[in-house]
Structure 1
Amino acid sequence: MTLQLIEVDEALKLRDQGALMVDVRSPSEFAQETIPGAINIPLLNDEERARVGTCYKQKGRMEARLLGLQFVSPRIPAMVSQLLCQKHTDRTPAVVFCWRGGLRSEAAATLFALAGISVRRLRGGHKAFRDYVRDFLDRGEWGRLLVLRGLTGVGKTALLKRLVQKGVPILDLEGIACHRGSAFGGLNQPPQPTQKYFEALLWDRLRNIPPGSWAVSEGESRNIGKLLLPERLYASLQEETSLWIKASVDFRVRTILREYAPLLEEKEALTAPIQSLRRRLGGDAVDQLLQLVKEEHWEELVRRLIVDYYDPLYRHTLPERRIEVEVEPEDEGMQRLRLALDRVLAEKVSEPAR
């Protein structure tokens, strides 16, 4: 049986047309990184993969293949059923891949084809996709990124959400990274993706912001939690005139209390981030903050964090090239932001990041 091998470009075109991407690597490999939107139908689970690898080293290729066949054979009907349940259209084939496009994807694709399912194999496997993503991020060939910046609590994330509601394209870096980018940024968030999967998710968003178009993003440091922004993307965020969002401390306190309201019932979750500030604020200041948590003096806690920690830490980030946007009251602030966006868009289009 001849199985059609396709290159990454063709595989991703099929993906955009609704083709199901099927990752047949082990669950732990899939959890680390995959093609966004792919499903996992593992040919071997983690333990089985390890045992086959050991067998290959100790007894050779044929013995390892026979052992793998023993593991896979009882699961073939379930694997086919899983694919049929999730493949919602016959208009496009399923695209099967493993790590390097080798024996695992060949075996799985053969099984699916024998069951009458239209399949393609990704030449080079997930590694080929990973190389494709790295090349894309290194080239930096995407549209303009108009950047919202401002001190903690001015409501940049809320502004992005309101822009989305009005049909404005955005790049939500914190949403992709599952982190709000501060000492408290991981609270009430799902686990962060791995660096490689983060980059795959960035590719999936940035490819929809092609050269000649634009999107609005929140300004970030190069690190978002444990993740690192790719160099070209970080450069893109630095080269545009910034929209510097301004608001009073009272407004910022209210914004943070509103955004973090679910966490105020979980005092233990606040303890570790506050403890991490001892080196910067000193032991006495941190002890006072912990006492405010214990006594549930939330407004005073947030105000102290803004004035004593966040503002001194981030005030130096005030960009030289900026348009200041006052966002109080909120409805008028949104109008001012739209005018500021129009003003930035009227500037000369920046060259891609070098």
Structure 2
Amino acid sequence: MLRDCTDYRDIFLNDRPLMDARAPVEFHKGAFPGAVNLPLMNDLERQKVGTCYKQHGQQAAIELGHHLVSGAVKAERIEAWAEFARAHPDGYLYCFRGGLRSQITQQWLKSEAGIDYPRIGGGYKALRNFLIDTLEQAVNQCDFVLLGGMTGTGKTELLVQLRNGLDLEGHANHRGSSFGKRATGQPSNIDFENRLAIDLLKKRDAGIDQFVLEDESRVVGSCALPLPLYQGMQQYPMVWLEDSFEDRVQRILRDYVVDLSAEFSAVHGEQGFVLFSERLLESLNNVQKRLGGERHRRMLLLMEDALAEQGRSGSVDLHQGWIEGLLREYYDPMYVFQREKKGARIEFAGEQKAVLEYLHDRLNQKA
């Protein structure tokens, strides 16, 4: 008898290998960390079968599917599944609802390759619903504190040092600001939510029920925060991280110029610096309306000169000019306003060492 699994908690806590038998278009809309897409049908085949189902019913659609995936195509796909199953004997396969596609995949693996590989009961939809419930339960049952502070104070740097930190920007692969795009793309919104839910699940399994997360807007780049969490963030208590203006400038220079430039070069090779320069200029242009024409032109000239010098000599010193200008004239006034607006919720403020100690003590007192 072919095996099913419905222990979704175990699957995510132990990072069980997952074979996703859905079509690529479904996979790219949303999947789970580490899942591998080995579809029963490609996008075109799925489309044809779907059209046949609507026009002629289920039996005709099944027959068409068997016709489309037959012979050498069928053998090639079974071999790919078998390779995955042999490499990951503790894994599972799934389709969208744990229905026909995963049943056929499981049956063919058994009959053609002699491998009895378990599938996930309820499929992708059941796993996804489990993670949505995990998120909502955490929001309803756990305590949260927000980490705020001016741009460049090192909030993410501090957050990753906490065992109860939730790195929203890390899960979204974005630094959160208008300049936050990385050399690699962002996950889909579903993937972002899945990563966050699994992080919460693992930390709660380790006994943590108080979490620290950065004070973010509703979207981190293109990834929207789950609505229940974002609504909670409008009232959670806050801790405010402080640092000197000079240190903030140096941190932004490191993160958004030195490290980002190196990241683009690592991903794109010789074209890396050109693409990095385009990205930096694009980021500045994205805030042109909010900066106003005169300030934007002034910052743009500083940035263009800095990029030209960096390209010639490798020196990044000139970048400090536009960074200092943006902080003083754009970001800092916004954050001063935010701090005043949220002042009643701020329970502690200090530099990194003091804030780390406070948050460690806060967690220990809760425990």
Normalising TM by the smaller chain, what interval? 0.7 to 0.9
Name 1:45's counterpart in structure 2: 42
Name 2:292's counterpart in structure 1: 282
Alpha-carbon distance, 1:198 to partner: 1.5
Select the residue among 203, 214, 222 that pairs with 2:197. 203
**1:17/1:150 CA distance change after superposition, 3 Å:** closer
Q: RMSD across aligned C-alpha pairs, in angstroms?
A: 2.5
> Are residue 183 (structure 1) and residue 201 (structure 2) matched?
no
Name 1:302's counterpart in structure 2: 323
Tell me if the contact between 2:18 and 2:93 (Cα under 8 Å) persists in the aligned partners: yes
**1:61/1:84 CA distance change after superposition, 3 Å:** closer
The one-letter code of the counterpart of 1:311 is D
Alpha-carbon distance, 1:82 to partner: 2.5
Name 1:117's counterpart in structure 2: 115
Name 1:78's counterpart in structure 2: 76
Q: Once structures 1 and 2 are overlaid, which stretch shifts more, 36-45 or 69-78? A: 69-78
Distance in 1, matches of 2:22 and 2:73, equals 15
Alpha-carbon distance, 1:284 to partner: 1.3
Alpha-carbon distance, 1:89 to partner: 4.8
**1:212/1:278 CA distance change after superposition, 3 Å:** closer
Question: 1:251-300: per-residue Cα shift (whole Å, max 9, x none)?
Answer: 11100001122446432212222122222121111111111111113101
Distance in 2, matches of 1:274 and 1:312, equals 17
Greater fraction helix: 2
Question: 1:327-352: per-residue Cα shift (whole Å, max 9, x none)?
Answer: 4xxxxxx3x23321244336668xxx
Name 2:159's counterpart in structure 1: 160
Name 1:312's counterpart in structure 2: 333
Local SS of the residue matching 2:213: strand
> Are residue 64 (structure 1) and residue 61 (structure 2) matched?
yes
Alpha-carbon distance, 1:102 to partner: 1.8
The one-letter code of the counterpart of 1:127 is K
Question: 1:118-173: per-residue Cα shift (whole Å, max 9, x none)?
Answer: 32232322122222222222232564444321100111122234x16xxx342111
The one-letter code of the counterpart of 1:182 is S
Name 1:330's counterpart in structure 2: none
Question: 1:51-85: per-residue Cα shift (whole Å, max 9, x none)?
Answer: 22223334443332222113322233333333343
- Stretches of structure 1 that go unaligned for 5 or more consecutive residues are 328-333, 350-354
Name 2:229's counterpart in structure 1: 233
Distance in 2, matches of 1:303 and 1:52, equals 59
Name 1:331's counterpart in structure 2: none
> Are residue 256 (structure 1) and residue 252 (structure 2) matched?
yes
- Stretches of structure 2 that go unaligned for 5 or more consecutive residues are 262-272, 307-317
Tell me if the contact between 1:170 and 1:215 (Cα under 8 Å) persists in the aligned partners: yes
Name 1:193's counterpart in structure 2: 187
Tell me if the contact between 1:325 and 1:340 (Cα under 8 Å) persists in the aligned partners: no
The one-letter code of the counterpart of 2:214 is E
Select the residue among 315, 320, 325 that pairs with 2:350. 325
How do residues 208-219 of structure 1 correspond to structure 2 at under 5 angstroms?
Answer: 208-210=202-204, 212-219=208-215
Select the residue among 207, 220, 225 that pairs with 2:216. 220
Tell me if the contact between 2:131 and 2:198 (Cα under 8 Å) persists in the aligned partners: no
Select the residue among 100, 104, 110 that pairs with 1:103. 100
Select the residue among 232, 237, 242 that pairs with 2:238. 242
Alpha-carbon distance, 1:225 to partner: 1.6
Tell me if the contact between 1:263 and 1:269 (Cα under 8 Å) persists in the aligned partners: no
Question: 1:210-246: per-residue Cα shift (whole Å, max 9, x none)?
Answer: 2654444322222212222123323554555422111
**1:127/1:146 CA distance change after superposition, 3 Å:** same
**1:19/1:249 CA distance change after superposition, 3 Å:** closer
Q: Normalized against structure 2, the TM-score is what?
A: 0.81
Tell me if the contact between 2:8 and 2:127 (Cα under 8 Å) persists in the aligned partners: no
Instruction: Give the % identical residues.
Output: 34
Alpha-carbon distance, 1:99 to partner: 1.3
Local SS of the residue matching 1:243: strand
Name 2:269's counterpart in structure 1: none
Q: How many residues align?
A: 332
Local SS of the residue matching 1:295: helix
Distance in 1, matches of 2:365 and 2:16, equals 40
